[in-house]
A and B are shown apart, each in its own frame.
Chain A
Amino acid sequence: EPEVTQTPSHQVTQMGQEVILRCVPISNHLYFYWYRQILGQKVEFLVSFYNNEISEKSEIFDDQFSVERPDGSNFTLKIRSTKLEDSAMYFCASERANEKLFFGSGTQLSVL
């Protein structure tokens, strides 16, 4: 079965540093998402992306966050200046159109 791939699987960074989390969605999918999960808590929506623009974002997705689809295959999440509370597992997800959502295995971000 096709899958969403995310790199790196673990990312450790210092507070205030910029990080870029990378995702390769499933090739014929059109809708892309980032979710995050703080340890022991529920999965939270960050942002959705369609047709090269953000279609929806949550309160978590503030000015420190940005997303980009620089080419036909990658979908990235950038955190400009990381904070301790950004430590979480970040999941990329994609769907074709009105079909089920596929999640990647996640990137564990640790901000020190």
Chain B
Amino acid sequence: GESVGLHLPTLSVQEGDNSIINCAYSNSASDYFIWYKQESGKGPQFIIDIRSNMDKRQGQRVTVLLNKTVKHLSLQIAATQPGDSAVYFCAESHSGYSTLTFGKGTMLLVSP
């Protein structure tokens, strides 16, 4: 069936480095993509989203890139901080803002 998946289960970086977390999706009908951050014991926290009519969107220290040709999504975190350590999930929807399909998650570990 259709799914959203992540390439790397764990990413370890040094404080101050830039981090890139990748995600592949398989549903061609997906038109909305979101990145969530999940810290231990907490629910997913919205980071940034992008619609399929865009290929790049920037937030504060974060950038999401969408490549519809190869069905690939990435999250770039600039100047990564220890507080960025968490599991990052990509999620997609093909019906606007309703049901989300989540990927498996990537653990980001930031060393001081």
Could you tell me which A residues sit within 8 Å of B by CB distance?
4, 31, 33, 35, 41-45, 48, 55-56, 58, 91, 93, 95, 98-106
Q: Are A43 and B41 in contact (CB under 8 A)?
A: no
B residues less than 8 Å from A31 (CB atoms): 97-98
B residues less than 8 Å from A43 (CB atoms): 44, 89, 91, 100, 102
Complex CA gap A105/B39 in Å reads 10
Q: Is B99 an interface residue (CB 8 A)?
A: yes
**A3, closest chain B residue (CB):** B43
Classify the interface of chain A: helix, strand, loop or mixed.
Answer: strand
Q: Are A45 and B101 in contact (CB under 8 A)?
A: yes
Could you tell me which B residues sit within 8 Å of A by CB distance?
34, 36, 41-46, 49, 89, 91, 96-105
Q: Are A105 and B105 in contact (CB under 8 A)?
A: no
Complex CA gap A44/B103 in Å reads 9
Minimum CB–CB distance for B69 against chain A, Å: 25
| 17 A-B pairs in the complex with CB atoms less than 8 angstroms apart | A4-B43, A31-B98, A33-B99, A35-B100, A42-B102, A42-B104, A42-B105, A43-B102, A45-B100, A48-B98, A48-B99, A55-B98, A91-B43, A100-B49, A101-B34, A103-B36, A103-B45
Count how many pairs of residues, one from A and one from B, have CB atoms less than 8 Å apart in the complex. Answer: 53
B residues less than 8 Å from A106 (CB atoms): 41-43
Q: Are B89 and A42 in contact (CB under 8 A)?
A: yes
Complex CA gap A93/B44 in Å reads 10
Query: In the complex where A95-B97, A105-B41 touch, is A42 in contact with B103 (Cβ < 8 A)?
Result: yes
Complex CA gap A20/B105 in Å reads 28
Q: Are B44 and A91 in contact (CB under 8 A)?
A: yes
